[in-house]
Amino acid sequence: MNSHHIGGLTKTTMPSIWSKPVETSMSNLKKAKQPPPPIKLFEEEQTQGKKGNYLKIDIRSVPEDPNSETFSLDVRFFQSGTPKQWLDFKKTFDKVIVGQNLTTGPTRYQMARTLLKGEAL
């Protein structure tokens, strides 16, 4: 703890856990008796998907304009995985919803049924 006197007042500051870099690893978390984080601290290697594990979808730059430029997006089917993999899938799924101009519930539902497999349904 540090104490500072400012204009007749004493200000006490507590040391911050953020004041110095701490190596974050699973062994440090075990020593501190902390539960493991729901999303891993380290990036996982991206494995190249086999043909048939993803769907190529054409996305429009301006979804409402049928003449706008299009680009292809490879979307992996999601069956199960880590929370990080789910969040990555959800981000890509949101791009598909916007890029395909899927504005109604039934069309969004159908796209979700197309991209979700197995346990994810």
Q: Assign 117 a pLDDT band (cuts: 50, 70, 90).
A: confident
List, for residues 80-96, the tens digit of each pLDDT value.
Answer: 888 888 999 999 999 99
What pLDDT score does 53 carry? Answer: 83
First to last CA, the chain: 53
Distance of CA 45 to the CA centre of its chain: 15
More confident residue, 90 or 27: 90
